[in-house]
């Protein structure tokens, strides 16, 4: 079971109003983000989704202002939050009411290797 | 334009398939003897053995084989049974790594990377030991555009290139060796290995089993059942070009990340026929299916553990991301592949029970499930050929 929240790094100032979501979702690996999705109610997932969607493109543009291989720590935290948004979007936009039964099957898949950073 | 199914596919036969092909222990033994022990088998990725001394170990427990593949100091790839010649214990215990030589943990017999026995503690107390003939037992190994294959037979009947035939050339059209960013999933499923191969070589199930996840991408007004655009057959291998719905409207987050990654909507893949394919599927005899898209290649390996137990392992190869946009687009693809796979895991887990139940003696394949039929036919032919060969050898003896 993923921890409810953890001490995530700070988000860039422009996105600091999302810090409470970052504490839950800005996890460094796909496996941890997925675990958090499976352990979190869809209502809570939607709170994150609804809060982030209006500024999601803005966040990607902000990250694009740095060279990809030289993201400062706060920008990396924001990237992790974006990656979590991608995972959560499958639950909110695609699976919807089917997320629960689907999650039981998803637990049977083990991730051996994932995209880095 | 409405997509239709090729009516000539009935040339591969129309009969139902006996369920014994999937659940008889005797049939599985024949597959092991006449198929898996006599053909090139996928064994891993060449990037894991890129430099001299790099090695990987691939387990084929169902064939009682553990194989170590190593890049020699001369840069040559070699493969050996992972068995020490002294008391036949396991030699290499790590899954992958880099070594200057291999030392057996049992009594420290040492081998160089060419497989020669190089050091024996207290050698003088052996009786007339023929150290030259106590090297590691070699196994044929080769690579096709970065994918490693081994052959457990004493002498492969054909080279890997000849075995893969036209697929070998087609594989080289894709910059796989540069696609070094890998996502890998696995699950052990209580099902015959062919069921997993079959699942990834027919599109008939998509509108139903994937109704929630990808139905809208895969069916549309021109193609309500999501027929493939084309089927191809290459000796024992097979392929199809996958259609996708051009009218698919991406979801909000999907649209944002795919646009940001330079991937807009369904982009067609460079096809030999200039049709509207978005993905090529290749079924490599016996137990691999490749899905090739413009953005990633996905390799499904269906590794038997027993007649009714299989380790499904899938690897998606991506080019290393050069931008945040590309990174997010790749994450979307990876997460989607994982979540679609979970739907397959659910349905696949039910098949073996049904096959063993005795409820039906046959299973049915329709026209668009022709690649599944093609696999069954080629397995059957390989088994018959093998049995014939054994008979002739017995006669000769």
Angle at B216 between CA B210 and CA B217, to 5 degrees: 90
B198 vs B319: which has the higher pLDDT: B198
More confident residue, B320 or B109: B109
Q: How far apart are CA A79 and CA A59, in angstroms?
A: 8
Task: Judge if the upstream peptide bond of residue B286 is cis by omega within 30 degrees of 0.
Answer: yes
* Chosen from A86, A97, A104 to mutate, greatest number of chain B CBs within 10 A: A86
Compare CB distances from A57 to B256, B323, B346 and report the shortest one's residue: B256
Range with the poorest average pLDDT among A40-49, A83-92, B204-213, B304-313: B204-213
Name chain B contacts of A106, Cβ cutoff 8 Å.
338-339, 342
Test mutation, B335, B336, B341, chain A, max A CBs within 10 A? B335
Express each pLDDT in A34-69 by its tens digit: 999 999 999 999 999 999 999 999 999 999 999 999
Q: Are B109 and B103 in contact (CB under 8 A)?
A: yes
Among A35, A60, A71, the residue to mutate for chain B (most B Cβ within 10 A) = A60
Q: From residue B93, give the alpha-carbon distance in Å to each of A77, B57, B58.
A: 37, 8, 11
Q: What is the pLDDT of residues B201-231, one digit of tens each?
A: 999 999 998 988 888 888 999 999 999 999 9
- Answer whether residue B32 shows pLDDT above 70: yes
Q: What are phi and psi of B320, to 5 degrees?
A: -60, 130
3 state SS for B237-292: EEEEEECCCCCCCCCHHHHHHHHHCCCCCCCCCCCCCCCCCCEEEEEECCCEEEEE
CB contact under 8 A, A30 and B342: no
Is residue A11 within 8 A of residue A22, CB to CB? The reply is yes
pLDDT at B271 over 60: no
Q: What is the pLDDT of residue B165?
A: 95
Q: Is A14 on the interface with B (CB under 8 A)?
A: no
Q: Catalogue the long-range contacts made by B120-126 (C-beta closer than 8 Å, 24 or more residues apart).
A: none
Encoding tokens for residue B112? 């160089």
d(CA B208, CA B188): 23
How far is it, in rounded angstroms, from Cα A53 to Cα A56? Answer: 5
Asked if the ipTM is above 0.90, the reply is yes
Spell out a b/e string for B223-247, using b for 16 or more CB atoms within 10 Å of the CB, else e.
beebbbbbbbbbebbbbbbbbbbee
Sheet hosting strand B102-103, strand order edge to edge:
B102-103, B110-111, B117-119
Q: Which residues of B touch A54 (CB under 8 A)?
A: none
Contacts of B345 in chain A (CB under 8 A): 105, 108-109
Q: Which residue has the higher pLDDT, B265 or B283?
A: B283
Q: Which helix (H) or strand (E) holds B194?
A: helix B193-199
Chain B nearest CA to A109, separation (Å) = 5
In the 3-class helix/strand/coil scheme, how is A17-86 assigned residue by residue?
A: HHHHHHHHHCCCCHHHHHHHHHHCCHHHHHHHHHHHHHHHHHHHHHHHCCCHHHCCHHHHHHHHHHHHHH
- Which positions in chain B touch A116 (Cβ < 8 Å)? 181
% of chain B surpassing 70 pLDDT: 96
Q: What is the pLDDT of residue A1?
A: 43
Q: Which pLDDT belongs to residue B302?
A: 98
Q: What is the pTM of this model?
A: 0.94
Per DSSP, the three-state class of B234 is strand
State the Cα–Cα distance between residues B288 and B238, nearest whole angstrom: 11
Give the integer Cα–Cα distance in Å for A74 and A85. Answer: 17
Structure token digits, residue B199? 């699942």
Contact B342 A105 (CB under 8 A): yes
CA A7 to chain B, closest CA, distance in angstroms equals: 23
Taking an 8 Å cut-off on Cβ atoms, the answer to whether A68 and B341 are in contact is no
Q: Residue A61 — φ and ψ, nearest 5°? A: -60, -40
Strand residue runs (E) in chain B: 17-18, 40-45, 54-60, 65-71, 77-81, 96-98, 102-103, 110-111, 117-119, 138-144, 147-151, 181-189, 230-234, 237-242, 279-284, 288-292, 297-306, 309-318, 362-363
How far is Cα B35 from Cα B32, in angstroms, rounded to an integer? 6
Sign of the C-alpha dihedral computed for residues B285, B287, B293 and B294 taken in this order: negative
- Provide the pLDDT for residue B397: 62
A to B CB pairs, distance under 8 Å: 114
Among A3-7, A57-61, A72-76, B179-183, the least confident range: A3-7
**B223-260 pLDDT per residue, tens:** 999 999 999 999 999 999 998 888 899 999 999 998 87
Interatomic CA distance for residues B85 and B102, integer angstroms = 12
């Amino acid at each position: 079971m993923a921890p409810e929240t953890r001490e995530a790094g700070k988000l860039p100032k422009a996105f600091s109003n999302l810090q409470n979501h970052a504490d839950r979702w800005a996890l460094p690996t796909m496996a941890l983000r997925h675990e958090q999705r499976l352990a979190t109610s869809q209502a809570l997932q939607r709170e994150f989704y609804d809060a982030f969607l209006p500024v999601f493109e803005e966040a990607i543009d902000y990250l694009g202002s740095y060279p990809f291989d030289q993201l400062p720590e706060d920008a990396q935290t924001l990237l992790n939050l974006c990656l979590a948004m991608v995972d959560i979007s499958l639950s909110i936009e695609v699976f919807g009411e089917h997320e629960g039964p689907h999650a039981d099957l998803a637990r049977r898949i083990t991730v051996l290797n994932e995209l880095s950073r | 334009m409405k997509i239709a199914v090729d009516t000539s596919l009935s040339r591969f036969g129309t009969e139902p398939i006996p369920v014994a092909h999937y659940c008889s222990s005797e049939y599985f033994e024949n597959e092991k003897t006449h198929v898996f022990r006599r053909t090139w088998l996928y064994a891993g990725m060449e990037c894991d053995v890129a430099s001299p001394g790099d090695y990987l170990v691939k387990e084929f427990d169902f064939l009682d084989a553990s194989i170590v593949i190593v890049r020699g100091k001369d840069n040559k790839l070699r493969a050996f049974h992972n068995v020490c010649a002294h008391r036949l214990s396991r030699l290499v215990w790590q899954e992958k790594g880099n070594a200057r030589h291999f030392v057996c943990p049992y009594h420290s017999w040492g081998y160089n990377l060419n497989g020669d026995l190089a050091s024996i503690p207290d050698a003088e107390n052996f009786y007339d030991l023929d150290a030259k003939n106590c090297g590691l037992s070699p196994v044929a190994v080769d690579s096709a555009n970065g994918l490693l294959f081994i052959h457990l037979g004493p002498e492969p009947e054909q080279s890997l290139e000849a075995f893969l035939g036209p697929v070998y050339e087609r594989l080289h059209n894709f910059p796989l060796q540069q696609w070094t960013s890998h996502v890998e999933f696995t699950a052990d499923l209580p099902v015959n290995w062919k069921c997993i191969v079959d699942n990834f070589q027919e599109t008939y199930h998509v509108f139903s089993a994937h109704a929630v996840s990808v139905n809208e991408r895969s069916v549309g007004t021109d193609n309500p059942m999501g027929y493939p655009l084309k089927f191809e057959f290459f000796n024992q291998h097979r392929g199809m070009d996958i259609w996708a719905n051009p009218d698919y409207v991406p979801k909000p987050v999907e649209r944002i990340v795919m646009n940001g990654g330079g991937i807009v909507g369904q982009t067609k893949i460079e096809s030999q026929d200039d049709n509207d394919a978005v993905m090529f599927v290749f079924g490599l005899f016996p137990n691999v299916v490749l899905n090739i898209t413009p953005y990633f290649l996905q390799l499904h390996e269906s590794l038997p553990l027993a007649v009714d137990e299989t380790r499904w392992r899938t690897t998606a190869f991506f080019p290393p991301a050069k931008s945040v946009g590309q990174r997010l687009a790749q994450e979307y693809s990876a997460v989607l592949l994982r979540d679609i796979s979970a739907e397959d895991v659910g349905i696949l887990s039910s098949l073996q029970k049904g096959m063993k139940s005795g409820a039906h003696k046959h299973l049915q394949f329709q026209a668009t499930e022709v690649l599944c039929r093609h696999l069954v036919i080629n397995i059957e032919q390989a088994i018959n050929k093998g049995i014939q060969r054994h008979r002739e050898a017995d006669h000769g003896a």
